[in-house]
Amino acid sequence: MTSDLLARVRWTNVGIVLLAAGLLALVAGWPLLSPEAPALPRGDAPVVAATPEPEPVARPAGTRGDGRAARARRAEERRKRAARARRVEQRRKRAARAGKRRRRAARARRIGGVRRPAPGATAPAPPPVPRYAPAAPAPASPEFGFEG
């Protein structure tokens, strides 16, 4: 093959065709690739071995069987809920204090906590704008001697 022919081939299309051929071969050969089915036992053999029934645990009358561990677990859950409730309440109070500070600052700005000109007075003049721009710096000297 010449390099001219190789340059004209659309390799993406060749790849798609090869991929499709490979998938078709895989689908056609799938039954040959799968393992053999397992051998079934004879008809008179038991399918599952019999297991004995577990005996029920006898408890003394009037007990639920949860004991100290369950009481300790419930007490721990109560402590966690109480701690979470305290954190939520502290967060709510902190947010209320922050809101009060924001409202107080906004009121001070509205009423006059920030200096504003009196009604009817003129505002101070803005700072003067420079009349001309500063001079541009001189161009840099050529570094190697052959520039521009």
On the question of pLDDT at 52 being above 80, the answer is no
Highest mean pLDDT among 51-65, 88-102, 120-134: 88-102
pLDDT value of residue 55: 81
On the question of pLDDT at 42 being above 70, the answer is yes
pLDDT value of residue 54: 80
Q: Average pLDDT in the 108-122 region?
A: 65
Decide: pTM greater than 0.95. Answer: no
Residue 111 sits at the vertex; the CA angle it makes with 117 and 109, to the nearest 5 degrees, is 85
